[in-house]
Amino acid sequence: MQDTVDVLIIGAGASGAAVAWSLAETRMRIVCLEQGEWPNPARYPSTGMDWEARAMTEFGFNPNRRANSADYPINEDNSPIKIANYNGVGGGTVLYAGHFPRFHPSDFRVRSLDGVADDWPIDYATLAPYYGENDRMMGISGLAGDPAYPPKMPMMPPVPLGKAGTKLAKAFNALGWHWWPSDSAVATTDYDGRAKCINLGHCLHGCAQGAKASTDVTYWPHAIRAGVELRTRCRVREIATDGQGRASGVVYYDRDGKECFQAAEVVILACNGIGTPRILLNSTSARFPNGLANTSGLVGKNLMFHPYAAINGIFEEPLDGHRGPSNCIWSQEFYETDPKRDFVRGYTFEISRGRGPLVTALTGMSTGRIPWGEDHHRAFRRMFDRITSMVAICEDLPEMHNTVTLDPVLKDAHGIPAPKLDYTLSENSRRMLNHGIERGTEVMKAAGAYDVITQAPIEFGGWHLMGTARMGTDPDRSVVNEWGRSHDVKNLFIVDGSLFVTSAGVNPTSTIQALALYVADNIKKRLANLFD
Amino acid sequence: MTDQIAKDHPLSPDAREQLRIVAGIMIPASEEFGVPGADDEHIFGDMLRTLVPIAAMVSAALAAIGPLEPLDQAARCAACERFQASAPTMAAVLVALVAQCYYRDARVMRALGMEPRPPFPKGFEVEQGDWSLLDRVRARPKLYRDAP
B27-85 pLDDT, tens digit each: 999 999 999 999 999 999 999 999 999 999 999 999 999 999 999 999 999 999 999 99
Residue A411: exposure state from Cβ atoms within 10 A (0-12, 13-18, ≥19): middle
Please indicate, yes or no, if residue A45 is contained in any of the structural domains. no
Cross-chain CB nearest to B137 (options A106, A178, A322): A178
Q: C-alpha A12: how far from its chain's center?
A: 14
Whether A17 and A9 have beta carbons less than 8 Å apart is answered as no
Tens digits of residue pLDDT in A201-253: 999 999 999 999 999 999 999 999 999 999 999 999 999 999 999 999 999 99
Question: Is A66 touching B (CB cutoff 8 A)?
Answer: no
Please indicate, yes or no, if residue A312 is contained in any of the structural domains. yes
Side chain identity at residue B18, one-letter code = Q
CA distance A220 to A89: 8
Whether A137 and A218 have beta carbons less than 8 Å apart is answered as yes
Strands A387-394, A451-455: pairing kind: unpaired
Q: Which residues in chain B are closer than 8 Å to A108, comparing Cβ atoms?
A: 147
CA distance A86 to A274: 12
Cross-chain CB nearest to B148 (options A44, A112, A361): A112
Between the alpha carbon of residue A86 and those of residues A64, A94, A334, A444, B148, the distances in Å are 11, 7, 31, 32, 37
A429 Cα to chain B: minimum distance (Å): 21
Q: C-alpha A308: how far from its chain's center?
A: 13
Cross-chain CB nearest to A106 (options B80, B108, B144): B144
Alpha helices in A455-508 (DSSP H): none
Please indicate, yes or no, if residue A43 is contained in any of the structural domains. no
Q: What is the pLDDT of residue B8?
A: 82
Q: What is the pLDDT of residue B19?
A: 97
Side chain identity at residue A266, one-letter code = V
Q: What is the pLDDT of residue A2?
A: 74
DSSP 8-state symbol, A449: -
CA distance A214 to A218: 6
Side chain identity at residue A406, one-letter code = L
Please indicate, yes or no, if residue A97 is contained in any of the structural domains. yes
Give me the residues of chain A with pLDDT under 50, please: none
| Residue in A446, A215, A430 with CA at minimum distance from that of residue A344 | A430
CA distance B102 to A49: 12
Q: Which residues in chain A are closer than 8 Å to B49, comparing Cβ atoms?
A: none
- Domain hosting A60: range is 2-38+54-527
Size of interface A-B (CB pairs under 8 A): 176
| Residue in A110, A104, A106, A67 with CA at minimum distance from that of residue A86 | A67
Please indicate, yes or no, if residue A297 is contained in any of the structural domains. yes
Question: Is A152 touching B (CB cutoff 8 A)?
Answer: no
Whether A70 and B108 have beta carbons less than 8 Å apart is answered as no
CA distance A295 to A531: 18
Q: Which residues in chain B are closer than 8 Å to A381, comparing Cβ atoms?
A: 33, 112
pLDDT tier for residue B3 given thresholds of 50, 70 and 90? low
Interface test with A, best of B95, B102, B134 (most A CBs within 10 A): B134
CA distance A229 to A32: 6
The answer for residues whose C-beta is within 8 angstroms of residue B109's C-beta and 6 or more apart is: A357, B103, B115, B116
Between the alpha carbon of residue B82 and those of residues A292, A377, B27, B74, B146, the distances in Å are 56, 21, 17, 12, 59
Q: Facing residues of A419 across strands?
A: A406
Cross-chain CB nearest to A178 (options B81, B140, B146): B140
CA distance A370 to A347: 32
Question: Is A200 touching B (CB cutoff 8 A)?
Answer: yes
Please indicate, yes or no, if residue A349 is contained in any of the structural domains. yes
- Quick one: angle between helices A124-138 and A509-525, nearest 10? 110
Residue B75: exposure state from Cβ atoms within 10 A (0-12, 13-18, ≥19): exposed
The answer for residues whose C-beta is within 8 angstroms of residue A92's C-beta and 6 or more apart is: A13, A14, A84, A85, A86, A272, A463, A509
> Which residues of chain B from 8 to 37 reach within 8 Å of chain A, CB to CB?
25-28, 30, 32-33, 35
Q: C-alpha B97: how far from its chain's center?
A: 6
| Residue in B19, B24, B103 with CA at minimum distance from that of residue A53 | B103
CATH of the domain at A438: 3.50.50.60
What is the mean pLDDT of the segment spanning B110-137? 97
Yes or no, beta carbons of B99 and A361 under 8 Å apart? yes
Q: For B127, name the nearest residue in chain A, comparing CA atoms only.
A: A162
Question: Is A365 touching B (CB cutoff 8 A)?
Answer: yes
Question: Is A36 touching B (CB cutoff 8 A)?
Answer: no
Alpha helices in A115-251 (DSSP H): 124-138, 162-175, 219-225
Count of the separate structural domains present in chain A: 1
Please indicate, yes or no, if residue A46 is contained in any of the structural domains. no
Yes or no, beta carbons of A166 and B122 under 8 Å apart? no
The answer, yes or no, to whether residue B7 has pLDDT greater than 80, is no
> Which residues of chain B from 41 to 70 reach within 8 Å of chain A, CB to CB?
50
Buried b (16+ CB within 10 A) or exposed e, A504-519: bbbbbbbbbbbbbbbb
A41 backbone φψ class: left, alpha, beta (φ>0; ψ -120 to 50): alpha
Long-range contact list for B91-97, CB < 8 A, 24+ apart? Answer: B91/B61, B92/A366, B93/B54, B93/B57, B93/B58, B93/B61, B94/B19, B94/B22, B94/B26, B94/B58, B94/B61, B94/B62, B95/A361, B95/A362, B95/A365, B95/A366, B95/B26, B96/A56, B96/A362, B97/B47, B97/B50, B97/B51, B97/B54, B97/B58
pLDDT tier for residue B102 given thresholds of 50, 70 and 90? very high
Side chain identity at residue B33, one-letter code = F
Please indicate, yes or no, if residue A217 is contained in any of the structural domains. yes
Q: What is the pLDDT of residue A1?
A: 61
Q: What is the pLDDT of residue A340?
A: 97
Interface test with A, best of B100, B131, B138 (most A CBs within 10 A): B100
Q: Which residues in chain B are closer than 8 Å to A365, comparing Cβ atoms?
A: 95, 99
